[in-house]
Amino acid sequence: MNNFIFMSHPLDENTPTYGDRDQLSISVKSEIVDGIGANTSVINFSNNHMGTHMDTPFHFCIDGKRTLDYDADDFYYTKVAVVKCPCNEAKLIQREDLNLDNVPKDVDFLLIDMDYEQYRSEDKYHNDNPGLHASLADELRDEFKDLKIIGFDAISLTSWKYRPEGREGHRAFLCGDNPFLIIEDVSFKNLKNNKIDWAVVAPLRTIDGNGGPVTIMAKLKR
């Protein structure tokens, strides 16, 4: 068994977007014809927060850290934990919804598997998605002092049906002392029941720095 996996979705023109408001297009720029030339493409994002992507503190905090403020080793995690939190409709996930009893206190990357990836090809994924309650941010900070990044298989930390609460939630996780990085639209389909040895989050490094697409690679424990 290959114990290296991707936990991010490939980008294509069917990539779902929050509220179905944005679009990714890919078109041919040039092609190899009769053995001459090169294959190149034009990729257009109407929003940089599409697909498996990262929110940096600057996404909601005027003086928050941007992508380029992080060093390479800030994206390498050796204490990765996955918690199950099955959900089939819009709600705000709170501390009592998460079974954190077996999560090590020194966890640095927490992944929340909501089993919501199953709806990714349906409208439900972008208009009935769960999100994270603002109160969860400080509760996780207090309980897990080394936690740096949180990922989950919903299209946004903001539930489409709880948008005011979602803005508050984004600020709670991204602003102030000890802000988290947030990864939205994570893929768990290759994980199955394996535990993760380590994970790398490789962001698209751009000067605006409020976030953007990431590739997540993980090594499974045997």
**Class at the top of the CATH hierarchy for domain 4-10+48-220:** alpha beta
- Distance, in Å, from the CA atom of 97 to the CA atom of 90, rounded to the nearest integer, reads 14
What pLDDT does residue 132 have? 98
Amino acid at 14: N
Report, as ranges of residue numbers, the positions in the chain whose pLDDT lies below 70: 1
Domain ranges of the chain: 4-10+48-220
What phi, psi does 139 have (nearest 5°)? -65, -40
196 and 219 in contact (C-beta within 8 Å)?
yes
**pLDDT single digits (tens) 53-91:** 999 999 999 999 999 999 999 999 999 999 999 999 999
- Distance, in Å, from the CA atom of 151 to the CA atom of 139, rounded to the nearest integer, reads 16
